[in-house]
Amino acid sequence: MVQRVRLRYRQCRDSVRQGLLPLKSVSNIVLPPQRPLSLNRLIFLLSFFNSKYFDFISLLSKRRS
């Protein structure tokens, strides 16, 4: 499960970096849409899985502002 989430997260991160993917769809790609996730909750979950992706999280916050 964790491996699958990490893989989807990596693909998602690369797409956002290339500007191919709007941030709104990030939570649906990274985690199954059982319930809507706020961006903060998504960031918490992703950083929980692997803290070395904080560069992606800071990228998200920059694009948000």
pTM of the model: 0.28
Q: Residues with Cβ < 8 Å from 47, sequence gap 6 or more?
A: 53, 54, 57
Q: Is the pLDDT of residue 22 over 70?
A: no
Higher pLDDT, residue 27 or 18: 18
- pLDDT at position 1: 58
Phi–psi pair at 57, nearest 5 degrees: -65, -40
- pLDDT at position 9: 74
- pLDDT at position 32: 54
* Residue 62 CA: distances (Å) to CA of 2, 3, 7, 22, 32: 26, 27, 23, 14, 25
- Band of the pLDDT at 10, cuts 50, 70, 90? confident
